[in-house]
Structure 1
C-alpha cells in the first residue's frame, strides 16, 4: 500500500496526497535528484489483471506519457516529465500546479462568468490544437482534468492516460467505468475516439462551467451514456456570447462540429453575435409537414387565447382577383424598373397569382397554410370566416380566422354573443354542423362565436 514518505523510482519522495479518482491517486512529491517539487500520479490496475494485460497497460501508459511529453513546452498543458514503474504499476511524473482543478473551483464558487469561461475555452482549444497537430487525442477532457493555477492560468492535464486505462469508456465486457457524462456520442456507442470527440467533451465541460450543471449527467452511468448518445443538451441560459460555440461543440454528428480554428473564431468578442452564429454549418432545411384535411372539430371548453398582434393585424385579402389584379393606369411597376427588375417583378406577380389561386381553390394547400399563418379567432366578427386546424402531436392548434374566399374556409360566423353561449343543443355539438367557439372578449370576458358550415357544405343542415 502506498504511503507518505515512500520513494518512487528511486527518485521521487511522496510528500502528501493531492487527490484521487477512479483511476488513481495524485501526490505531491520531491524530485530528490533536482531538488524540486513535482506531482506524481499512481495509476491503479485492477487486482485480477492478467499478466499479459498488465504488461500491455504498462507499455500503453509509457507510450501515452511520451506522447504527452511532446507538449511539454505548451503554456496550456501540464508538462509530463517522466514515467516510472513501481511494484508493477505505472507512475506519471508531472508539473506541480499551484492551484486546483476546474471541478473543485465550480464546486466551491459556482459557475464561471461568461468572460472567465471564454478564457478557459481559448486555453483549452489551444491546448487541444497542439495535441491534435502532434497526433494526440486526449479522450478525457472534463473539469477534473483542467487545472486552474494560482495566477488564473488554465492547463489541460492527463493526455490520453486515464482514457487508455478505460476511464470514461467501455471495458471488454461492456461495463461502464469513469465519467460517462463527458464522453463523445461516438465513444458512448463504442467507437474509437477521434479528435472531434475531444471537442464534444470540451463543449460539455464549458456547458457545465457556465451553467453549473452537467448536461448529460444522469442517475446511472448507463443513463449518462444514453443521454450523451441521444439526448440534446438543454439550451444554455447563462452562456451569453458563448452559446453559438457551446451549441456547435455539442453537435451529435462529429462531422458538424467546428474545427478548432472555427471554434476560436466563435470566441472573438469583437464579432457581432449574428456573425458568430453564421460560422455554424447550416442545417438541412426541414421538409414542410404534409397537408391535412380538417377533421371534424371538437368543441374546446376553454376560450381561445388571442395570438400575437403581428398575426392578427395582417390585412385579409377579399378575393384572389383582388390580390392578382394589376394596375391598369400609368406605367407598370415592372416596366419602370428596367429589364432585370422588370423580369423579377413579373415573376413575383406570376407567383402571387399562382399562390392566390392555390389558396382559393386547393383545399389541401389552404389547410397547410392555415396551420400557422392566419389570424386570431378572438377578433372574428359576424360575417367573418373561421377554420379548424386539428391538433397534431404536442402542437397546440385549434380555430383560426381565415379569408372567406380561402379554400380552407369551413365555417362562417353568424353571431358573436357577449358572455353567453349560442344555445346550440348538445346533440349537434362537436359535429360538422353548427358550432359555438368560446373566445376571449374585452376584459377577459368569455364570448361565444356562433358559426355554421359554408353554404355549399351545409346541405344536410336543417336550420
Structure 2
C-alpha cells in the first residue's frame, strides 16, 4: 500500500477504480489508503449507516510493544480534547477483525495544510488577500486548540503543516496526538530519545532537551511562518546543514513581502533561539497575533478555549522508547529524525559542526587512542569507534589522522580496507599516499562505515608503509542492526511485523539525480518477500508543477522469472508497498518503475537477488 492522490468526493461504487478494501472495522466499507500517521496507516472509509466518510487510523506496529502506550495515549488525549472545534473529532476506537487497534475519526475532506501549500505553490489559498491574513487567522484558531491541550496538561510536540487538517468548511483542525506527552512527565535522563519533525522543532528539542510549552509555541510559529512564506523557515542541502541553520540563522524577515511589522515581531519572538525569550504560553502568542490583526485593520480571529479538563491523570502511560521512520535521505519538508543521546559523549565529538545540535543527531563517536610508535614510524589510532548502524545504511564520514612521529620522512604507498569485514568500509578520500610525510606532518584518511550484516563488525583500515613488511592497521569498531519494516511504515499484517530489509537499497535516477529507491524485505515467519519503493522529494518537486502525475509500478518476483506480487499507484504517490510473496526455496528481487504521465519518461531500480 502507498500514498495515493487525494480521493474525490464520490460515494462507494462511483470511483473509477471500483470499491476499496475491507479493513475489518464493523460498519466501515470501501477503505482506501490516504496517508500514514506517526505510527499507523490512515484510510478513508465509508459508513453507510451514517452516510458519511470517516478516517480510520490503523496501528501498523506490534500491539504488544511500545506502540501500545502511544496508541493508548493518543486515544485518551483525543477522547478528552476532540470536542474542541479546532481539534480533529474522534468518533470511536477499537480493534479490527485481525486484532489491530484503530481510531475512527472525522474525515476532513480538505486534506492537510501541507497538501494545500504544495498544491497552491505555497499560497494556501487562491484568493486575492495577502497570504499572511489567512495564515495568521488559521494560526490563532490552532492556538486555541493547542492552549486547550496545554491547560489539560498535554504537550503536542509535533505541530506542523502536515498535522493541521482542513475541514470541508475551511476550518483548520489540529491532528495526530501520537507524540503528545503529559507536561509533568520527566524524561529518562540516562538515554534520551527525541523524535521531532526537524524543520518545525525548536532548537532545544533538537539538542535533546525535554519538550515544553515554549517548544510548542515555537512549532506553531514556525508553521504560521511556513503558511505565509510557502516554505519552511529553514532549509538545507543536508541534514547537518539544516540543523546548523536552525541553531544559528535568524528567522527569515517577512517584511519585504508586505507582512506587517507586528506579525513579524510576534513570529520572531516565538521562534527565538533562547526559549526564555519566547512568549510564555500559546495564548500570549495568539494575543500578539490578534493585536497585529487589529493594527492592520483586519478583524481579530476568535481565540477559542475548550472546557477545563484538568491535568493528566496519574495513570497515564510513561514515555516509551520508540522512533518514527526517518526519511533522512530524502530531506523532505516534513522530514522526521530520531535523536539519540547517550549518557556520556566525548567532548571532541560535540565540538564538531555546530556542537551539541548536529552531534546530537549524529550517531558517530570518533574515538580511540593513538598508538605509541617507535622512532621513525607513523602514529595512527589503535581503534576508531563508529557506533551502531542499520545494515546497508552508510554512516557519516569519519576522519583518521596519520602523524609522522619519527625523525625522518615516511611514505605511505597504499591505504585499503582489510579483514573479514573489510567490505563494511569505504575510503571516501585520503591525502596520505600523494606525498611523503616530513617529521611532525599529518595527513588524513576519510572513511564511511556501512555494515553488511547484523551484530559486531570490526573491519580494518590497512596502511602500507614503504620499506616496511607489515602494514599499520586501525581497527574500526562498529555494529549492524537489521532494519525492520516498521521503519518504512509497513502496513498492518503478520508478515510485515517481523520483516527486515535484505540487501542494499537500489536507486533509480532522473536528470542525473536520485529519484527512486527500492528495498526488499523478508519475513522469517511467513517465509515471504515484499517490496517497498520511495519516490524522492527532489523528483516530486520537479514532476509536480503543472499538475504533473506519475505511476509507480512495484513488484517482488522470483529472480529466475515468473509472476510475483505487484502493486501500482498513480497520482503523486511517494511510497508504496507490495503484498508478501511466498518465496519457497528460490531467490527473489524487487523492481520499481516510476513513469511520468505527461512526458512518458521513466526510471527503474532493481535490488540484488535475495535467497531466503
2:266 aligns with: 245
1:126 maps onto 2:144 in alignment: yes
- Answering whether residue 217 of structure 2 is matched by residue 199 of structure 1, we say yes
**SS of structure 1 residue aligned to 2:276:** helix
1:319-330 matched pairs, under 5 angstroms = none
CA deviation after TM superposition for structure 1 residue 60, in Å: 2.5
2:123 matched to which residue of 1? 111
Pairing 1:69–2:79 present:
yes
Match of 2:286 among 232, 242, 264: 264
Distance in 1 between the 2:239 and 2:24 partners? 34
C-alpha distance in 1, partners of 2:268/2:58?
36
Pick which of 134-143 and 148-157 moved more: 148-157
Q: Give me the whole-angstrom Cα distance separating, in 2, the residues matched to 1:173 and 1:213.
A: 33
Q: Aligned equivalents of 1:249 and 1:96: distance in 2?
A: 31
Structure 1 residue 123 displacement after superposition: 0.6
Question: Quick one: structure 1 residues 39 and 272, their matched pair in 2 at CA, closer, same or farther if it must change by over 3 Å?
Answer: closer
Normalising by structure 2, we get a TM-score of: 0.39
Aligned to 1:144: 162
* CA distance in 2 between partners of 1:36 and 1:212 (Å): 32
| CA distance in structure 1 between the partners assigned to 2:223 and 2:176 by the alignment | 15
For residues 296-344 of structure 1, give each alpha carbon's deviation from its aligned partner in whole angstroms, at most 9, with x where no partner exists: xxxxxxxxxxxxxxxxxxxxxxxxxxxxxxxxxxxxxxxxxxxxxxxxx
Q: Which moved more, 1:81-90 or 1:180-189?
A: 81-90
Of residues 9, 19, 30 in structure 1, which corresponds to 2:46?
30
Mark the CA change 1:62 to 1:131 in structure 2 (over 3 Å): closer, same or farther: same
Instruction: Name 1:187's counterpart in structure 2.
Output: 205
1:173 Cα offset (Å): 8.9
Say if 1:29 and 1:235 are closer, same or farther in 2 by CA, change over 3 A.
same
Maintained 8 Å contact 1:25/1:43: yes
State the match for 2:109 in structure 1: 98
SS of match in other structure, 2:155: coil
Q: Secondary structure at the match of 2:111?
A: strand
TM-superposed CA distance for 1:272, in Å, is 7.2
User: Structure 1, residues 84-111: CA drift from partner, whole Å, max 9, x if none?
Assistant: 3445644222111121211111112123
Distance 1:200 1:38, change over 3 A: same
What TM-score, normalized by structure 1, do the two folds share? 0.50
CA distance in 1, matches of 2:233, 2:153: 29
| Cα distance change, pair 221–179 in 1 and its aligned pair in 2 (3 A) | farther
* Residue in structure 2 matching 1:211, options 229, 240, 243: 229
3-state secondary structure, aligned to 1:55: coil
- Kindly indicate whether the alpha-carbon contact (under 8 Å) linking 2:202 and 2:215 is maintained by their aligned counterparts in 1: yes
Q: Is 2:245 the partner of 1:227?
A: yes
Q: Counterparts of 1:65 and 1:92 in 2: how far apart (Å)?
A: 7
Matching of residues 283-362 of structure 1 within 5 Å: none
CA distance in 2, matches of 1:88, 1:163: 24
Q: Which whole-Å CA distance do the structure 2 matches of 1:30 and 1:272 have between them?
A: 44
Give, in whole Å, the separation in 2 of the partners of 1:12 and 1:272. Answer: 48
Counterpart contact for 1:188–1:229, Cα < 8 Å: no
State the 1:144 CA deviation: 0.7
Aligned CA distance change for structure 1 residues 195 and 14 (closer, same or farther; 3 Å) = farther
Give the 5 Å matches for 1:395-434. Answer: none
Residues in 2 aligned to 1:34 and 1:59: alpha-carbon distance in whole angstroms: 31
Cα distance in 2 for residues equivalent to 1:63 and 1:136: 10
Structure-2 residue corresponding to 1:56: 66
1:12 matched residue in structure 2: 28
Q: Give the structure 1 partner of residue 534 of structure 2.
A: none
Which protein is richer in helix relative to its size?
A: 1
Q: 1:230 to 1:100 in 2, by over 3 A?
A: same
Offset from partner CA, 1:92-135 (integer Å, 9 cap, x none): 22111121211111112123512111211111111111111111
The alpha-carbon deviation at position 12 of structure 1 amounts to: 3.4
Aligned pair in 2 of structure 1 residues 162, 13: CA closer, same or farther (>3 Å)? farther
* Runs of at least 5 residues in structure 2 that lack an aligned partner in the other structure: 3-18, 125-130, 182-189, 298-612
* Equivalent position of 2:515 in the other structure: none
Alignment of 1:358-397 (within 5 A): none
Instruction: Tell me if structure 2 keeps the 8 A contact 1:58–1:89.
Output: no
* Residues in 1 aligned to 2:100 and 2:269: alpha-carbon distance in whole angstroms: 40
**Greater Cα radius of gyration, structure 1 or 2:** 1
Shift of 1:197: 1.3
